[in-house]
Amino acid sequence: MNWGIIGTGNMGKVLLHSLTTSHAVEEENLYLYNRTLMKAYELLNQYPNVHVERSLTNMANKCDVLLLCAKPKEILEISKKLQPHIKKEQLVISITSSISTDHLDQILPCKTARMIPSITNQSLTGATLLTFGKRTNTMDQQMIKQTCKLFSNPVEVNDDNVRAASDIVSCGPAFLSYVLEDMIQSVEQETSLKREEAVNFVETMVIGFGRLLEERHFSLETLREKVMVKGGITGVGMEALEKEIHNSFNQVFKNTHQKFSAEKEMVEALTLEAKMNFSG
């Protein structure tokens, strides 16, 4: 089975690395396309056996599964260009939350799915969020799940929860990186600890923290309780966090959902326009 990645930006590269490193898809069975072709060709230095194609038509003709790794508006444009060349037995997968399988179903005649990856997949861990289109059958769904299991923990989500789940799974690493970077900057400002030392300590702490959760030694709640002795130094520090950070993520999720709603309105309008053009 041949897989194609259309769009070799950040997440396209993550999927390329995850699929090949886990041997979910061998390099010889992977095809790449990018609007700026040189960016795709540059990846041959690291993945010498993948194929780079010069057109979307070639991608449609050679791939059984196509991953659309682009912004919402671009995914719709790509779908319209693919439409005359796609056969009903092929599978097209969007990696963007605001592009639902229903949107793809209205433009494309084939099977569709949505697979939202995370940068954590690059280390063959973390989650992938899956939604299946109405034309996929049980075998299609199992194939996608089994492929994703080789580099992640696949979780099926519906349209109502896809944005909230994506905020945690896909955006979460960026949010946590910001909080940790703020910790590093603050310790620089308030103590004599040098930045290089602080970065090393934070990175080591986060790796150990993740391992404690992975090995089920603690839950988030019990880990905090274990570290925070009543009346101790950690408790005093926690008081400051409760004042400054508590509920701050409420606004984060409000912002992401507002952006999501705006993107969905744009996608709905463009999908309707594309559907009318095809029917006309």
CATH assignment of the domain containing 38: 3.40.50.720
Q: Has residue 245 been placed in a domain?
A: no
Q: Has residue 11 been placed in a domain?
A: yes
For the chain, give the mean pLDDT.
Answer: 95
Q: Has residue 223 been placed in a domain?
A: no
Total domains, the chain: 1
Q: Has residue 63 been placed in a domain?
A: yes
Residues annotated within a binding site: 6-11
Percentage of the chain exceeding pLDDT 70 = 99
Residue 275 confidence (pLDDT) above 80: no
Q: Has residue 166 been placed in a domain?
A: no
Residues annotated within a binding site for NADP(+): 6-11
> How is residue 149 written in tokens?
């299991």
Confidence tier at 280 by pLDDT (50, 70, 90): low
Instruction: Note the pLDDT tens digit of each residue in 40-97.
Output: 999 999 999 999 999 999 999 999 999 999 999 999 999 999 999 999 999 999 999 9
Q: Model pTM?
A: 0.92
Q: Has residue 189 been placed in a domain?
A: no
Full residue range of the structural domain in which residue 52 is found: 3-158
Q: Has residue 21 been placed in a domain?
A: yes
Q: Has residue 258 been placed in a domain?
A: no
Residue 149 confidence (pLDDT) above 60: yes
pLDDT of residue 1: 94
